[in-house]
Chain A
Amino acid sequence: MRKHTKLTRFIALAMCLTLTCMLLSGCGKKTKIIGTLNLINYAEYLDPEMLELFTEETGIEVKMDEALTPEEMYTKYSSGAIKYDLVCTADYMLKKMIDDNEFQKIPWDQMEYKDNIGSKYYDFCKAFDPNNDYCLPHFWGTIGILYDTTKVKAPIDSWEVLFNGEYAGDIIMQNSMRDTFMITLKYLGYSLNTDNEDEIRKAQELLIKQKPDVQAYLVDEVRDEVVAGNAIMGVIYSGEAYLGRESNPNLEYVVPKEGSNVWIDCIAITKHCENTEYAAKFLDFLCREDVAKANFEYIYFSTPNIKVIESLSDEEKEDPTLVPPEDSIVNCEVCTQTDKKVTELMSQLWKELKSE
């Protein structure tokens, strides 16, 4: 008899749990929904409360789908399974999608707050969107080295420390093909957008030579590993570095003198979007100072919103991880390399590197 009741008991238990959660989540206040926008975005790249606020203000619901990498987004987008109205993704992916005619022009004239985004950032976008037709900057930053100042012999200013074996076993690299190749190309003095096979192969040789010195190639937690002292230095995005320094003040972030990648993530309206007016409303909403500020405080990546930058404290303004200074990015390039052959070559070489 006992056997019979096991299942029922279990179900009862689960029901209790469900009920508790429902109480936990509470009953949200409902606004009348007049339309829906589907957005694909990086996970944790918007304050979810801002989406709720937008729905409250306009009656337009924004359903966000989340991914970790631009490639994941592209896989989901290109399958056609969901007709996304908006895409928030990285520079090179934007270029690829612009070239494939996936986007429609942003109706700038319907946007009241578009000038909150500094013109400098619109200029960045010209690298892949020459007439600023399609892309609204969302967050940006650099790639550099986060290192523990108490464990290095001298302050770091070059990518060289990653490759000269000085810190063998204490280096963490990004588990990302593009980022890893880009910094190596930069170290070798090439453009990170090179399509020269020899240059790319040279970068791979160097990376293979470096591999025994690398503790791990991580997608995530590069920051945590350096904070915890499991490694002395790691290749990292500037925004991540800010959070790392929050939990360990001995850490320092540097954009090496050879230059690096300056990345910019933008939002664009896809060709599937039927209600461009709603999409424009949402983009405009994101540019608004209070909203941009909330988003900034949610993730602490560098914002292109000048109103928000102005509102920062002096200390924050001088933090190179929050507001990358002009001189640190003079040698940096935006990644716009989307040539199919180059991508194929790189991914082949990357696979070889990983299987060494």
Chain B
Amino acid sequence: MNENEVRTNKRPFLSGPYFIWIIAFTVLPLIVIFRYALFDGNGHFTLSNIAAIFSSSINRKALWFSLEIALGCTAFCILLSYPLVMALKHLGLSKRGFSLFIIILPMWMNFILRILAWQMILSNNGILNLLLTTLGFEPVRIANTPTAIMIGSVYDYLPYMILPIYTSIMEINEDLIEAAKDLGANSFTVFCKIILPLSLPGLLSGIVMVFVPSMTSFVISDILGGGKLQLIGNIIEQEFMISNNWHVGSGLSVALMILVLLSMAFTRKRTADGKESLVW
């Protein structure tokens, strides 16, 4: 037993440097934020800054809208990623690094520039409408609507869903799939019974990397939503930047953090089916 443990490469001490790093640059700065969140401008203890996320109707509305966008964006990313990864797999393994690059390359162009480019595509006199009218269709009014924010978010976060799913699907032993097929499983069954469960770790990583940032971003909604639609990220940004109220801003972010943590824990319970936790 003892010998076995030594051999399974159990070396918790390897996480030491990381642990120190987390404490120094994640936990301690976070305490600064908590200090702002838990006290008001006069140094009195208060929970109102944190409660503000629910107590103000503006914040509730923004939170709800962010949730819609984040959930929608995550769902679209999953729906687009799986077929893509399956298609890439089908098109051959030999170009593995190549396809990774193809997915990641657009992200190397600056994010703001890409979102501005989307604005040019989607705007009323934009490229999309130019194409539509040339082909004889009615122009669409997408710019400055939730649809535009959704398109921008899916565009921006899609690679973060594709990559982990891609990595974990490519790891599935081909023999397993062959064996299932030999035993009479069709492609659909193979996908549901083998590929999906085995790619779950990747999927969960992807969900965290898409859901959370799409919930807190504010640049996409500012540029593509025309400033008419507020995500909770915009509200937090305004508290820090316009109202100069760091206490409420910090309180809102702490509340948001707690909410996201809770919802992620919930996801795990529902999807991991009592298995050893993957994301958490």
Within 8 A of B (CB), among A176-226: 177, 211, 214-219, 221, 225
Please tell me if B123 contacts chain A, counting CB pairs below 8 Å.
Answer: yes
Contacting residue for A214 out of B58, B228, B234, CB 8 A: B228
Interface stretch (choices A68-76, A118-126, A270-278, A305-313): A68-76
Within 8 A of B (CB), among A258-272: none
Chain A residues with Cβ under 8 A from B55's Cβ? Answer: none
Please tell me if A101 contacts chain B, counting CB pairs below 8 Å.
Answer: no
Please tell me if B133 contacts chain A, counting CB pairs below 8 Å.
Answer: no
Whether the pair A219, B240 counts as a contact (CB closer than 8 A) is no
Task: Contacts A225-B123, A230-B123, A355-B58 given; indicate if A350 touches B242 (C-beta within 8 A).
Answer: yes
Most buried by A among B222, B240, B243, B245: B243
Chain B residues with Cβ under 8 A from A354's Cβ? Answer: 227-228, 230, 234
Task: Report the Cα distance A303→B33, complex, angstroms.
Answer: 42
- Shortest distance between the CB of A216 and any CB in chain B (Å): 3
Task: Report the Cα distance A354→B144, complex, angstroms.
Answer: 13
Chain B residues with Cβ under 8 A from A352's Cβ? Answer: 58
Task: Report the Cα distance A112→B41, complex, angstroms.
Answer: 45
Contacting residue for B227 out of A218, A228, A230, A343, CB 8 A: A218
Chain A residues with Cβ under 8 A from B119's Cβ? Answer: 221
In the complex formed, the residue of B with least CB distance to A225 is: B123
Please tell me if B125 contacts chain A, counting CB pairs below 8 Å.
Answer: yes
Task: Contacts A175-B227, A351-B58 given; indicate if A215 touches B241 (C-beta within 8 A).
Answer: no
Contacting residue for B125 out of A177, A214, A228, CB 8 A: A228
Contacting residue for B226 out of A74, A177, A218, CB 8 A: A218
Whether the pair B222, A175 counts as a contact (CB closer than 8 A) is yes
- Shortest distance between the CB of A151 and any CB in chain B (Å): 12
Task: Contacts A71-B244, A72-B241 given; indicate if A215 touches B226 (C-beta within 8 A).
Answer: yes
Task: Report the Cα distance A218→B143, complex, angstroms.
Answer: 12
Most buried by B among A71, A228, A344, A355: A355
Please tell me if A6 contacts chain B, counting CB pairs below 8 Å.
Answer: yes
Tally of chain A residues near chain B (CB < 8 A):
30
Please tell me if A229 contacts chain B, counting CB pairs below 8 Å.
Answer: yes
- Shortest distance between the CB of B140 and any CB in chain A (Å): 14
Task: Report the Cα distance A228→B123, complex, angstroms.
Answer: 10
- Shortest distance between the CB of B236 and any CB in chain A (Å): 12
Interface string of B232-251 (1 = CB under 8 A from A): 00110010111111000000
- Shortest distance between the CB of A158 and any CB in chain B (Å): 24
Please tell me if B35 contacts chain A, counting CB pairs below 8 Å.
Answer: no
Interface string of A64-93 (1 = CB under 8 A from B): 000001011011000000000000000000
Task: Report the Cα distance A177→B119, complex, angstroms.
Answer: 23
- Shortest distance between the CB of A251 and any CB in chain B (Å): 15
Within 8 A of B (CB), among A215-266: 215-219, 221, 225, 228-230
Task: Report the Cα distance A211→B227, complex, angstroms.
Answer: 11
Chain B residues with Cβ under 8 A from A75's Cβ? Answer: 240-241, 244
Most buried by B among A177, A225, A348: A225
Task: Contacts A228-B125, A355-B58, A355-B61 given; indicate if A217 touches B226 (C-beta within 8 A).
Answer: yes
Chain B residues with Cβ under 8 A from A229's Cβ? Answer: 125
Please tell me if B97 contacts chain A, counting CB pairs below 8 Å.
Answer: yes
Interface string of B91-130 (1 = CB under 8 A from A): 0000001000000000000000000100100011110000
Whether the pair A216, B228 counts as a contact (CB closer than 8 A) is yes
Most buried by A among B124, B125, B230: B124
Please tell me if A164 contacts chain B, counting CB pairs below 8 Å.
Answer: no
Whether the pair A355, B143 counts as a contact (CB closer than 8 A) is no
Task: Report the Cα distance A218→B244, complex, angstroms.
Answer: 20
In the complex formed, the residue of A with least CB distance to B58 is: A355
- Shortest distance between the CB of A226 and any CB in chain B (Å): 11
In the complex formed, the residue of A with least CB distance to B226 is: A216
Chain A residues with Cβ under 8 A from B125's Cβ? Answer: 228-230
In the complex formed, the residue of B with least CB distance to A340 is: B244
Please tell me if B62 contacts chain A, counting CB pairs below 8 Å.
Answer: yes
In the complex formed, the residue of B with least CB distance to A219 is: B222
Contacting residue for A230 out of B143, B234, B238, CB 8 A: B143
Chain A residues with Cβ under 8 A from B222's Cβ? Answer: 175, 219
Task: Report the Cα distance A148→B57, complex, angstroms.
Answer: 38
Task: Contacts A351-B235, A354-B227, A355-B58 given; indicate if A216 touches B240 (C-beta within 8 A).
Answer: no
Q: A217-B227, A351-B238 are in contact. List 15 more A-B contacts (CB 8 A).
A: A2-B97, A71-B241, A74-B244, A75-B240, A75-B241, A214-B228, A216-B226, A228-B125, A230-B123, A230-B126, A343-B243, A348-B243, A351-B235, A354-B227, A355-B57
A-B CB contact pairs (8 Å), 10 listed: A216-B227, A217-B228, A218-B226, A219-B227, A221-B116, A225-B123, A228-B123, A348-B243, A351-B230, A355-B62
